Each structure stands twice: as C-alpha cells, then as structure tokens.
Amino acid sequence: MKLCKDQNQKNRSVVMNAKNRSMEQVRVVIFDCDGVMFDSKLANEEYYNHILAHFGKPPMNSRQSEYAHTHTAEQSVVHLFKDDPQLQQALAYRRQITYFPFIPIMQMEPYLKDFLEYLRPAYKRAISTNRSDTMNQVLADHGLEGYFDMVVSSLDVKRPKPDPEPLVKVLDYFGILPHEAIYIGDSEIDQLAAMAAGIPLVAYKNRSLSAAYHVEHFKEVEDMLENQG
C-alpha cells in the first residue's frame, strides 16, 4: 500500500511540475495515433471481430475493445484468445491478413490537418504509436504523408508503450530534453509512457488522465502554443 501511495504522490508531483513549467521551450509535438489523430474504434472493432469470427468466437465486449484500442495487434490477439487453445493459430492468422481494408473506416479528428499546418515550420512533428506495419498506410490513405518528421511504431522499438522507449527514441532523434516536447495522448498507456519519459502529457478528450493539460480539440493545443512564454 505504501508503494502505491508513494507512486501516486510521485505521479502527482510530475504532473504539477509539468503544469508549472511554461510551454516556451516546446520544440517537438508528438502525437498518439488511435484516439488522438483518428477515431479508430470502429475500424479496430471490425478488424478484431473478423479474427474472432474466423475462429467461431463472439465479438469483443467493451473491455476487450478498450484493450485492443491501446495495445499492439499482437498483444490484443493474445488478450482476446487468453487461455484459448487456438491462440497460436489466431496469431498466425493475424499475420496472414491485412488491416488495410479497415483503414478507410478510421475517422480523422477535426482540425488535425489545420493544426499540423500551423505547427510547421516552427515545431517538429512526430508520432509515437503502438500500431505496427499499418501506420505508413494510414498516413497515405488519409493524405497525411509528409506532415511528420518522425514516426515511431511498435516495430521500431523493443518495448512499446507504456514503456517510455518510443518517446525516448523521439527525444534522442531530435536531440531535445523531455520538457522541450509535449505528447498528445488519450489513454492510460500514453499517460504512463509520458510520465516515465518525463514529457508533459496533453490529454486528448480524456479528463480522467493525470496530465499537464487537458484538451477537447486541437485548436486548444494551438492556442496553448500561441500563448506560450
């Protein structure tokens, strides 16, 4: 219990320090993909339900859907087929099929392109996502190629989020300190990764997260950067 209490106090301290720091030194804006750049829950549900149906299993429930929304595809299939003798076959099937037919179902968040246009050339733009081999196709299909200076997927690291490795990889690439970036995320996975990396979290449409800032729209992030200093 004491360890949990100490960790909670540490987390609150990290958040307060981030809130007390101005945004005048921000040089890089890092985006999560699912739930931030795109509303992809429907696409994800159809993808994983397709895999489940192939093995005669019922569609995902709400808890399973939430898990799949934030974890890698491999982790999600393991979760969905936990204690199921068909697990290895399900993993093999997932590697055989493609997510590409489900990409058009993803809905781009309002004002995303405008915000990305606002950011350049003053700020570098990066993505840190637990998506794997679909991220480049997502950008291509939705007309976002060329908008980002760096993309880190789960294939680019040994330990995906909630481990801080993907975010640290971004910091190292640009040669910046944690407070010179912000990470726009929407899940507890993003919160844990940002805290571990020391990067201020901008919680997108999720006020339950411990974050330096909470926003409902990318225009709010733009206004924050516009008024920094």
Tell me the CATH number at 138: 3.40.50.1000
Q: How distant, in Å, are the alpha carbons of 31, 138, 176, 211 from that of 152?
A: 10, 14, 16, 22
The Cβ-side half-sphere exposure at 45, using a 13 Å CA radius, reads 14
Report how many domains make up the chain. Answer: 2
Domain's final residue, options 56, 74, 104: 104
Largest distance between two CA atoms of the chain: 57
Same domain, 70 and 112: no
Same domain, 120 and 29: yes
Domain residue limits at 60: 41-104
Q: Give tens-digit pLDDT for 102-137.
A: 999 999 999 999 999 999 999 999 999 999 889 999
CB 112 within 8 A of CB 171: no
Q: Give tens-digit pLDDT for 27-39.
A: 999 999 999 999 9
Q: Looking at the whole model, is its pTM more than 0.75? A: yes
Same domain, 78 and 110: no
Domain's final residue, options 104, 132, 159: 104
CB 93 within 8 A of CB 119: no
Same domain, 165 and 176: yes
Same domain, 95 and 133: no
Same domain, 114 and 178: yes
Query: Is there a domain that residue 209 lies in?
Result: yes
- 218-226 and 112-119 are packed helices; what angle lies between their axes, rounded to 10 degrees? 20
Q: How far apart are CA 164 and CA 134, in angstroms?
A: 21
Enter the DSSP assignment of 126.
Answer: E
Q: Reply yes or no on whether the pLDDT at 16 is more than 70.
A: no
CB 71 within 8 A of CB 130: yes
Same domain, 132 and 60: no
Q: If you average pLDDT over every residue of the chain, what do you get? A: 91
Same domain, 120 and 202: yes
